[in-house]
Structure 1
Amino acid sequence: MFLSFLTLSLATSTTLFARSSAALDLDVKDQQSIKSVAKTLAGGIVATYKNDLGESLIPGLFSDPYYWWEAGAVFGSLVDYSFLTGDNQYDDLVGEALEHQIGDFNAFLPVNQTKTLGNDDQSTWGLAAMSAAENGFTTSKIGNLSWIDLAKNVFDSQARRWDSKTCDGGLRWQIYEFNYGYSYKNSISSGQFFLLAARLAKFTGNETYSDWAEKAFEWTQDVGLIDDYHVYDGADADEGCSDVNRIQWPSNHAIFTEAAAYMYNVTKGSDKWKTVVAGFLNTSSVFQEDGGILFNVACENNGKCNTDQRAMKGLAARSYARAAIFAPFIAEELTSVLEASAKGAAEGCSGKEAKLQCSNKWTGNGEPSSGLGEVFGALAVVQGLLVKDAKAPATASDRGTGTSAGSPTANAPAASGSDQPPENEGAAGALTVSRGLSLAVAALVVVLL
């Protein structure tokens, strides 16, 4: 799960790669250079995964300390890697990983993740399937299923969990009430639901998804998790979401930026969504330093980024790159940020395959690390430079991927605070949820500052 407001001890002792002194040489203006560096970074991730797979024999998972959500983000990035670079050597491996984690109801709800399964975790995998649909990712590993139907099933299950009983809406962080964090409503859960709805709206042309995207965004604003286009972490549902945790993460901000850019495109450049996109662009400076290089303002300079937080700039870079495509009026500024960040990220990486390591800091002077989040982040920002010149993400009408673009199918029952799903209420319904244990959110934030 995204431990967005909790503190984990850094797994600095975990060594997956040996050090090498030669930094990766990246020319941000040369496609072949970009593809070459991306290939090195993808190769390092795959070498780590194959090692972990050899030990666990469970496709789709990385070993501790990496949670299930981060694996979903990594495999989604490898789906993008295949599309952006044309290097499809890992497609079967990625397809196998995604297939093995589909779980119950064909909605990325694997039983072995129940104890830590959050809405944000599930939607991370759903967004990976969405990328596979948009990119025309082909693999025989998912049998008769289609990528777009998997993404729809994730959306359907989360739409039924939309909780209007507390805080007038929003998604809880956790799916099951017995999990710690159930009473917390965080921006990443509602934000990724917003993004999934917006991308489904673009892919299918179905207004139901657009309506849900509007609803998710407006709720996040109304409850105060978005204030003047700053995106804050979350709030306690047991307290009526009255006390907002105002810590800011680059991934949250970028995910809302990407979703707003999709909606700008879906609505053919409406004034409303142009204003929203421009507002997010203006506040993106919070996450930039040293000439526009991305950094994690909440934890990077104080050295307190935990394992999850070390992957956040990768998520941010990926979303900013796509936002620039769907809202071209922000492309110049975001491209400048991505180029500076990619150059800094590459300079902080050295070695290859099992000996690859990267720094968490893209502004220099960072300690090289073997961490998955650091290598994923470098891959995401480097290959993000290819997005502007790539073929536009497809829709159902021009690629024919998956099923029809009709109404949401509500195939996936929503998990609640018990081991059994409730009766199917339809994607437009709200799932009745029990109140979980309250969290001392404000006290937990202090340790990060």
Structure 2
Amino acid sequence: MFTRASVLSLSLSCIISSTAALDLDVQNQDSIKSAAKTLANGLVTFYNESVSESGIPGIFPDPYYWWEAGLVFNALIDYSYLTGDSQYDAIVSDGIQAQLGEDYAFMPANQTGQITNEDQTTWALAALTAAETGFSPPENRSWAEYAAEVFDVQVLRWDEETCGGGIRYTIFTFQSGYDYKSNAATGDFFLLAARLAKLTGNGTYSEWADKSYTWAKDRGLISDDYDVYDGTSADLDNCEDANRVQWSYIHSVYTEGSAIMQNITNGEQKWTDAVQGFVNSSNIFFEDDILTEIACERNVIAAPSLAEPLTKKLEASAKAAAGICEEVSEDVKCSHSWDHADSLETASDGNLGEVFSALAIVQSLLFSKAKPLASNGTEAEAGDNATQSGDASGTSGAEVPKETGAAGTIAASVTAVLAVAFAAALSC
């Protein structure tokens, strides 16, 4: 799946003293928060070093991709929401807004040549997490508006001229991968639409969520057994010959989006079947209940039998992730693999993705005890009651209330997303 499948580790050498493995008690909220704080600090330490050197907020240096910063900010928004530790809120807010671009749709000029649809949606989902969690308000418009701007832009890119729909991997014809219908791009769009539908109560969003999911299912990018595939060539007749590589990332966005759709449709059978199907088919990504990337609320209330096995997988994965990380003075180093030490380094020394993944899975254990997220019907504590702008989707000017209810929203990562999506589903 192109760049999103890239290994985040640089495998650089580093000698660090005074290390201690993170001790995580998955049943103890204070222990979870303590581990999360250590991991979050490791990410922020590297980010601050990067900005100090480059003078550019919102990005990490090469070789990290632009979208990776969006994932990290998403996780840090969740960190603030789940732990109550708001010390990083200002730099997160500034970083996200620095990457908005002139049209407030996460199309900054310095990324135009390489930005993909997946990349853009990653940042939109971070903004949406901010809207849902009552994150400190932005300087311009609202977090919800930023997410809606991206939705409006991507609706215009829905490509029915080939294969009857779907979203291409890249945005511009000169970019490599333009002839590929990416299931990650379509899945991201599906999740964005589902979460906007939950947040706003606007039926246009839920219609597009249904449409994008149905397209992926009809084209065989989601199998009858709910296996989720990478994508297909737009040059093939009807896009029916799928690239059958499976990534936990794409699986997770469809899992979380389906859980949200199940919730907002009051348990409609289509979505209940989807949630159950995706959970069942996710076993391919687990070994001894620990999440493995094989290629390199109550929202499940309609199927309460899922709660226990999902929680078991979450706890086992979080315990393993924390156990492979080591505290280093005021920093932390982690490994890509969660069942053995492999390139154990800090974010500053090359393991940004590894530290991020550990934070994402560890703090996912806090969702079941967190305050409700924003949704249509009630107000969140730090609401941003702005309205949408733009008219591509037919939702212009629709009110975007800041409300609580049950929609899971968490950052996704190459390693941690599937288990984290489970946490979202369980906490809805």
Distance between the aligned counterparts of 2:203 and 2:38, measured in 1? 41
Query: Are 2:115 and 1:117 aligned?
Result: yes
Match of residue 139, structure 2, among 137, 140, 143: 143
| Deviation for aligned residue 1:10 | 5.8
Query: Are 2:366 and 1:386 aligned?
Result: yes
Match of residue 344, structure 2, among 365, 368, 390: 368
Give the TM-score normalised by structure 1.
0.81
Match of residue 271, structure 1, among 255, 266, 269: 269
Residue aligning to 2:3: 3
- The farther-off stretch of 218-227 and 356-365 is 356-365
Structure 1 pair 19/215, CA: closer, same or farther in 2 (3 Å)? farther
Give the TM-score normalised by structure 2.
0.85
| Deviation for aligned residue 1:104 | 2.8
Structure 1 pair 378/287, CA: closer, same or farther in 2 (3 Å)? same
1:86-105 aligned within 5 A: 86-105=84-103
Structure 1 pair 8/373, CA: closer, same or farther in 2 (3 Å)? closer
Contact 2:334 2:355 in 1 (8 A): yes
Contact 1:250 1:287 in 2 (8 A): yes
Structure 1 pair 57/365, CA: closer, same or farther in 2 (3 Å)? closer
Match of residue 59, structure 2, among 58, 61, 67: 61
Q: Deviations over 1:16-57 (max 9, x none)?
A: x94654210000000000000000000000000000001111
Contact 1:60 1:96 in 2 (8 A): yes
Match of residue 236, structure 1, among 233, 236, 240: 233
Name the SS for the 2:194 alignment partner.
helix
Structure 1, unpaired ranges of 5+: 300-323, 412-424, 429-449
Distance between the aligned counterparts of 1:19 and 1:271, measured in 2? 55
The one-letter code sitting in structure 1 at the alignment partner of 2:290 is I
- Let me know the Cα RMSD of the aligned residues: 2.1
The one-letter code sitting in structure 1 at the alignment partner of 2:125 is L
Match of residue 149, structure 2, among 153, 172, 176: 153
Q: Deviations over 1:330-367 (max 9, x none)?
A: 32222111100000000110124764210111123434
| Deviation for aligned residue 1:131 | 0.4
Contact 2:335 2:342 in 1 (8 A): yes
Distance between the aligned counterparts of 1:378 and 1:426, measured in 2? 36
Contact 1:19 1:351 in 2 (8 A): no
Query: Are 2:300 and 1:327 aligned?
Result: yes
| Deviation for aligned residue 1:398 | 1.7
- The farther-off stretch of 97-106 and 352-361 is 352-361
Q: Deviations over 1:85-111 (max 9, x none)?
A: 000000001000011001131111111
Distance between the aligned counterparts of 1:8 and 1:46, measured in 2? 20
Name the SS for the 1:176 alignment partner.
coil
Distance between the aligned counterparts of 2:77 and 2:215, measured in 1? 31
Contact 2:198 2:376 in 1 (8 A): no
Match of residue 221, structure 1, among 201, 217, 220: 217
Match of residue 395, structure 1, among 375, 378, 388: 375
Name the SS for the 1:356 alignment partner.
strand
Structure 1 pair 365/143, CA: closer, same or farther in 2 (3 Å)? closer
Contact 2:21 2:326 in 1 (8 A): yes
> Sequence identity, in percent?
49
Structure 2, unpaired ranges of 5+: 396-428
Residue aligning to 1:188: 184
Contact 1:47 1:353 in 2 (8 A): no
Distance between the aligned counterparts of 1:4 and 1:36, measured in 2? 29
Structure 1 pair 246/4, CA: closer, same or farther in 2 (3 Å)? farther
Contact 1:170 1:185 in 2 (8 A): yes
Distance between the aligned counterparts of 1:14 and 1:60, measured in 2? 26
Query: Are 2:146 and 1:166 aligned?
Result: no
Structure 1 pair 187/133, CA: closer, same or farther in 2 (3 Å)? same
Structure 1 pair 366/37, CA: closer, same or farther in 2 (3 Å)? same
| Deviation for aligned residue 1:396 | 4.8
Structure 1 pair 117/39, CA: closer, same or farther in 2 (3 Å)? same
Distance between the aligned counterparts of 2:2 and 2:58, measured in 1? 17
Structure 1 pair 82/353, CA: closer, same or farther in 2 (3 Å)? farther
Name the SS for the 2:181 alignment partner.
strand
The one-letter code sitting in structure 2 at the alignment partner of 1:191 is G
Distance between the aligned counterparts of 2:74 and 2:329, measured in 1? 19
Structure 1 pair 211/271, CA: closer, same or farther in 2 (3 Å)? same
Residue aligning to 2:208: 212
Distance between the aligned counterparts of 1:90 and 1:337, measured in 2? 29
Q: How many residues align?
A: 384
Distance between the aligned counterparts of 1:115 and 1:34, measured in 2? 40
Distance between the aligned counterparts of 2:32 and 2:8, measured in 1? 34
Distance between the aligned counterparts of 1:19 and 1:86, measured in 2? 31
The one-letter code sitting in structure 2 at the alignment partner of 1:384 is S
Distance between the aligned counterparts of 1:188 and 1:284, measured in 2? 16
